[in-house]
A and B are shown apart, each in its own frame.
Chain A
Amino acid sequence: MRGRHRFAIPFLQYLDTHGEVDVPLPAWTSDIERLQKLYEQMVLARTLDQKAVALQRTGQLGTYPSTLGQEAVGVAIGLAMQADDVLVPYYRDAIAQILRGMPPENILLFWGGEERGSDPGGASQDFPPCVPVATQLSHAAGVATAMKLRNESRVTLVTCGDGATSKGDFMESLNLAGVWQLPLVVVINNNQWAISVPLKQQTAAQSLAQKAIAAGIDGTQVDGNDVIAVYDAVKTALDKARKLRQPSLIEAVSYRLSDHTTADDASRYRDQKELNVHWAEEPIGRFQHFLHTRGYWDEAREKALQAHCRETVDAVVAAYLAAEAENPEAIIDYLYAFLPAALEEQREAIGRKAEVLNGQENPGA
Chain B
Amino acid sequence: MNKPGLELSVPDTESVTIAEGTLVEAVTLALRYEMARDDCVVILGEDVGVNGGVFRATEGLQKQFGSNRVLDTPLAEGLIAGISIGMAAQGLKPVAEIQFMGFIFPALEQIACHAARLRNRTRGRLSCPLVIRAPFGGGIRAPEHHSESTEALLAHLPGLRVVVPSSAYKAYGLLLAAIRDPDPVIFLEPKRIYRAQRQRIPNDGQALPLDTCFTLREGTDLTLVSWGAMISECTQVANDLATRGISIELIDVATIKPLDMETIVTSVKKTGRCVIVHEAPRAGGVGADIAAQVNEQAFLELQAPVARVTGFDTIMPYARKEDIYMPNTIDIQSQIEKTLNFS
Contacts and interface: CB of A to CB of B under 8 A. Distances in A.
Interface of A: 86, 88, 115-116, 118-119, 124-125, 127-128, 132, 135, 137-147, 149-151, 156, 168-169, 172-173, 175-176, 179, 330, 334-337, 340-343
Contact of B82 (A141, A156, A334): A141
Given A119-B123, A141-B83, A337-B181, 6 more contacts: A115-B123, A118-B122, A141-B82, A142-B87, A169-B78, A341-B262
A173 B81 CA distance: 11
A343 B262 CA distance: 12
B89 A334 contact: no
Contact of B89 (A119, A135, A142, A343): A142
A105 to B, nearest CB: 15
B273 interface: no
A135 B220 CA distance: 51
A142 B85 contact: yes
A125 B109 CA distance: 22
Given A144-B86, A342-B260, A334 B123 contact: yes
Given A115-B123, A118-B121, A334-B123, A139 B85 contact: yes
B262 A335 contact: no
B72 to A, nearest CB: 10
B320 interface: no
14 contacts: A86-B90, A115-B121, A138-B81, A138-B85, A138-B110, A141-B79, A142-B88, A143-B86, A146-B92, A149-B42, A149-B92, A172-B76, A342-B211, A342-B260
B109 A139 contact: no
B315 interface: no
B159 interface: yes
A145 B91 CA distance: 12
Contacts of A144: 86
A176 B79 contact: yes
B4 to A, nearest CB: 10
B85 A330 contact: no
Interface stretch (B124-132, B231-239, B276-284): B124-132
Interface stretch (B112-120, B169-177, B200-208, B304-312): B112-120
7 A-B pairs with the lowest CB-CB distances in the bound complex, closest first:
A142-B86, A138-B82, A142-B83, A146-B90, A342-B258, A337-B182, A172-B79
B86 A140 contact: yes
A335 B119 contact: yes
Contacts of A86: 90
B89 A169 contact: no
Contact of B211 (A116, A156, A172, A340): A340
Central interface residue in A140, A151, A173, by most chain B CB within 10 Å: A173
Contacts of A150: 1
B68 A149 contact: yes
Given A116-B123, A173-B79, A343-B258, A168 B106 contact: yes
B50 interface: no
A172 B68 CA distance: 20
A290 B343 CA distance: 90
A143 B159 contact: no
